[in-house]
Structure 1
Amino acid sequence: MKRTLATAAGALLAITAVTLTVPSTAQATEVSTGFHVSDGRLLDANNKDFVLRGVSHAHTWYTARTPQALKDIKALGANSARVVLSTGDQWTKNDTADVAAVVAQCKASRLVCVLEAHDTTGYGEAGAAAPLSRAVDYWKGIKSAVEGQEKYIILNLGNEPYGNTGYENWTSGTAAAVKSMRIAGFKHTIMVDAPNWGQDWSGTMRDNAASVFASDPDKNTVFSIHMYGVYDTAAEVQDYLNQFVSRKLPIVVGEFGDAHSDGDPDEDAIMATSQQLGIGYMGWSWSGNGGGVEYLDMATDFDASRLTTWGNRFFNGPNGVKETAREASVYKDGSCHVSYKLSDWGSGFNADVTVHNTGTTAIKGWQLRFLFPSVSSVDAVWNAELSQEGSSVQVTNTSWTESIPAGSSVNFGITGSSSASANEVPSSFTLNGVTCTTG
């Protein structure tokens, strides 16, 4: 939902229970090289269950804020970020280079990146909104920025693609858009939003999700419900989410808040039910809301040290991010072990360092960080490049030690001097931001 300029117009209608049979194709027919759906669950490229616990960030309006925002979101415990992009139909287009930079920033922060095209918000009711076909055109145009990144990103086809007018077209329009994406060669998990400004008060997505899933040639579609005023009781939250889980259809709460102008959503029930069912949720939003919905900011003026009541609840409360988020296993592909053999002769030392790649994929380009326990200075280094600031040391690869295949290692040496009476082995090492085992 575009919180900066518009709010939901969803009516508070009861959700009618229905029973549908899921087609036998609900299980993925082949294992993807990236995120994929199997038996109603979202799995990562290592076939590990992955439960989204993330935050939306309004990148398209705050591009300069994105690198730090992603770092802060990660530091608070999230495993994912939903990044708002523009197709150029309503706001300034986020082009291929910009999207590629966002993907790189998400990966640097070890976040799964849910990229979302926002210009479809409220199509059929909001006059300037673009149809899903325009979102498909956008994804085709920036394909090179996301191709090959299926392990790290999910494509949220179009934000809230139908308002409260014309929502009857959601089923055919969504199925057609997903098929167009597959024909264009996209192998990513595709997340599709509900109609009715994302809230599906009409039950359109609920009643037709099985047929939309079955129409995806890759069987790799995830459904996203946005929970605001329509979901102001625990019973409504539980009923809606359980109907997907019981039919083994993948569902996430793609947006929700702790308050809204169309009613007061039950955020406690949303988070508790999601945790109970093992499904993902993503809160709206990090910072920068306007148009009367500033109360949806989680951080005051993008300052992670000034969380709002909503932000503190989301990250630190019961069933919140800090308590329930688990990092995607694909980021553990960089697992490492460091062997640091010290030869100490009082005022000087020599260290023979071996970095082992204990992950499942090759590491290409590496940076090892550690702290000298005593006041030391490096006189020489071989098989690596080294920089030092005080006791902080950063070692990077040379051209001939750039790659560390899975199960292999590289070795480098250090000669240094010290003002301490004895030198010691550093207590911890991080490789590309991952803490390594030692010994």
Structure 2
Amino acid sequence: MRSRLSLLPGAALATALVALGATSVLATSAQADTPPGLHVSGTQLVEKNGTPFIARGVSHAHTWYTSQTATAIPAIRAAGANALRVVLSDGHRWNKNDATDVANIISLCKANKLICMLEDHDTTGYGEEGAASSLDVAADYWISLASVLKGQEDYIQINIGNEPFGNNDTANAKWSSDTQAAIKKLRAAGLHHNIVVDAPAWGQDWKNVMQAAAPAVAASDPDKNVLFSIHMYGVYNQASTITSYLDAFKTMGLPLIIGEFGYHATSADVDTATVMSEAVKRNMGYYGWSWSGNTDPILDMVLGFDPKNVSAWGQQVLNGVNGIKSTAVTATIYGGTTPTPTPTPTVTPTPTPTPTPTPTPTPTVTPTATPTPTVTPTPTPTPTTPPVTGACTAALQVVGTWPGGYQATVTVKAGSKAITGWKTALTLPAGGTAQGWSGTFSQSGTTLTVANAAWNGALAAGATTSYGWVGTGSAPAASTAVSCG
């Protein structure tokens, strides 16, 4: 979409820009005298009072699931988060989220004591994805929302554009200049919020374009309030790759967050244990992708927007070691306490679009209008075969099916005594294969054997954990017995 400013005739445009520039000088001077809300200090994001704010957050796909937001935000808070990253559209690619809509989101975040990062998703893959908008268009979008953004500097951050460049080297060469121009445009318009900038290469910066240009981008901001964001998917499948990238920003003395990460990508499983442990070790913020609504539910933390139906991925990022629930601290602007789980509203299913991942080597899971098989959650089955007695029991649930494949989870429950490890086995339909998570998988013929992962083997008496997989071929019957010992 074109901004009103871009429609002005040349002379009027020049006059407007001169006036705007003069205004920006005054605004910047005033800003220097008045401490901002959320802002960077060295390598840390801090609140207005100087207290570090370490985000433990979740992304919510608001622009495609507007009907779910009113219940999703309280549920995300109840799950333990202290921060929320909200997917918005500038209208270039998807339906625009206007000022009224965004004001309501901010109110919901404040009511639920969440620091709210607002992001424009239409920029995803610019330079490679033809439908994507530019950072300049994104900047105009934020300026159009100025009336509801100004005055909220303690509570919100502006993530100018999600993954604003793809893997096109020619386009990516403009990442630094385009990012600097967008930052200056926002400041000139009087927006003095903490600005978050995503890396190119679908957010993963595997050629270190953002890393190399970060000092120049940081220096270009009149407010000196830029936070860099790396997205960790298939590129980050081993600890050394993760720590090397994080170390580079530490050495430069620049602030960095992990703005998205997931534990499975098309190219490789992500070393999420290292992502989370390093973030905790370094007092670095992270945001898991995403609460719910992915067509392939492997990256849904809860299935069908039901906070009671937590997936294996959700268990890890919300409840696992170095997870959100155990490490989140509420911002001091809200009182600085850890989240207290509260009853969440009953989610009433409503018809919603079915997003699909953008087909790139390792991008954010981004919806398109392409029809895809809809994954329909099914009730947890009651096995007709008595479970095997012993140190633990296990129950199978087929989460959803589509032509040629399915997703399933198994819940493992310790018996009357605590256990230090577990191993399960079940029979798959002939010809099927499984690719899984949250366990150590092996397959011989039709027998699938799964042992605990390093982080979920120890269970107290009666405690549960789960693992899951995406399978090819037919799904196992709901009555399939799973041995556990």
Same fold by TM (over 0.5)?
yes
What is the Cα deviation at residue 187 of structure 1?
Answer: 0.5
- 1:342-361 residue pairs with structure 2 within 5 A? none
Deviates most, 222-231 or 33-42: 33-42
Question: Does 1:284 pair with 2:292?
Answer: no
Instruction: Give the 3 Å change call, closer, same or farther, for CA 301–147 of structure 1 in structure 2.
Output: same
* 1:148 and 2:151 correspond: yes
1:118 aligns with 2:121: yes
Distance 2:312 2:173 in 1: 37
State yes or no: 1:184 paired with 2:184.
no
Instruction: Return the letter of the residue paired with 1:206.
Output: Q
1:295 to 2:295 alignment: no
Distance in 2 between residues matched to 1:41 and 1:34, nearest whole Å? 14
CA contact (8 A) 1:76 1:315 kept: yes
The CA RMSD over aligned residues, in Å, is 1.4
Q: In the alignment, residue 72 of structure 2 is paired with which amino acid?
A: A
More strand by share: 1
Aligned-partner residue type, residue 112 of structure 1: I
Q: Corresponding residue for 1:328?
A: 331
In the TM superposition, 1:160-179 aligns within 5 A as 160-165=163-168, 166-179=171-184
Q: Deviations over 1:391-438 (max 9, x none)?
A: xxxxxxxxxxxxxxxxxxxxxxxxxxxxxxxxxxxxxxxxxxxxxxxx
Instruction: Say whether 1:206 aligns with 2:211.
Output: yes
Aligned twin of 1:95: 98
Separation of aligned partners in 2, 1:173 and 1:222: 16
Return the match for 1:69 from 69, 72, 88.
72
- Give the corresponding residue for 2:309: 306
Corresponding residue to 1:193 among 191, 198, 213:
198
Distance in 2 between residues matched to 1:236 and 1:31, nearest whole Å = 40
Q: For the residues of structure 2 that align with 1:296 and 1:281, how far apart are their CA atoms?
A: 15
How far residue 333 of structure 1 moved from its aligned partner, in angstroms, is 8.5
Are residues 225 and 301 of structure 1, via their aligned partners in 2, closer, same or farther at CA, if it must alter by over 3 Å? Answer: same
Question: Does the residue aligned with 1:271 lie in a helix, a strand or coil?
Answer: helix
Q: Structure 1: how far apart are the matches of 2:150 and 2:81? A: 24
Secondary structure of residue in 2 paired with 1:304: coil
In 1: Cα distance, 2:327 partner to 2:108 partner: 23
Structure 2 SS opposite 1:265: coil
Instruction: Give 1:323 deviation, angstroms.
Output: 1.1
**Structure 2 residue ranges without an equivalent (≥5):** 1-30, 338-485
Aligned to 1:38: 41
| Match in the other structure for 2:242 | 237
Give the drift of 1:43. 0.4
CA distance in 2, matches of 1:209, 1:243: 10
SS in 2 for 1:306: coil
Matched, 1:266 2:271: yes
Give TM-score, length-normalised by structure 1: 0.68
Q: In the alignment, residue 315 of structure 1 is paired with which amino acid?
A: L
Shift of 1:55: 0.2
Correspondence for 1:218: 223
1:234 Cα deviation from its structure 2 partner: 0.5
Native 8 Å contact 1:132 1:177 kept in 2:
yes
Contact 1:222–1:250, Cα closer than 8 Å, also in 2 = yes
Corresponding residue of 1:48: 51
Q: Deviations over 1:279-331 (max 9, x none)?
A: 000000000012xx321100000011110000010011000001111100101
Name the CA distance, whole Å, in 2 between partners of 1:324 and 1:31. Answer: 31
**% identity of equivalent residues:** 50
Moved over 4 A (4+): 28-31
In 2, Cα distance between the equivalents of 1:318 and 1:198?
Answer: 25
Residue 110 of structure 2 is matched in structure 1 by 107
Query: Structure 1: which 5+ residue stretches go unaligned?
Result: 1-27, 335-439
Matched residue of 1:301: which SS?
helix
CA deviation map 1:146-192 (0-9, x unaligned): 11000000010000000011111111111111011111111100000
Q: What is the CA–CA distance in structure 1 between the aligned matches of 2:35 and 2:155, rounded to whole Å?
A: 12
Corresponding residue for residue 84 of structure 2: 81
Q: Distance in 1 between matches of 2:186 and 2:69?
A: 27
Amino acid at match of 1:147: K
CA distance in 2, matches of 1:328, 1:233: 32
- Structure 1 position 135 matched with structure 2 position 108: no
- The Cα shift of 1:33 comes to 3.0
Q: Secondary structure at the match of 2:122?
A: coil
The Cα shift of 1:30 comes to 6.2
**CA displacement at 1:205 relative to structure 2:** 0.4
Change (3 A) 1:95 1:149: same
**Is contact 1:29-1:219 (8 Å) kept?**
no
Larger RCO (CA within 8 A; separation ≥ 6): 1
Q: 1:92 to 1:164 in 2, by over 3 A?
A: same
Report the residue type matching 2:246 in the other structure: L
Q: Structure 1, residues 324-343: CA drift from partner, whole Å, max 9, x if none?
A: 11100101199xxxxxxxxx
Partner of 1:18: none
Q: Tell me which amino acid in the other structure corresponds to 2:79.
A: L
Contact 2:128 2:166 in 1 (8 A): yes
Q: Distance in 2 between matches of 1:242 and 1:278?
A: 13
Aligned partners of 1:245 and 1:277 also within 8 Å? no
Q: Which of 150, 157, 161 pairs up with 2:160? A: 157
Structure 1 residue matching 2:173: 3-state secondary structure: helix
Partner-residue secondary structure (3-state), 2:308: strand
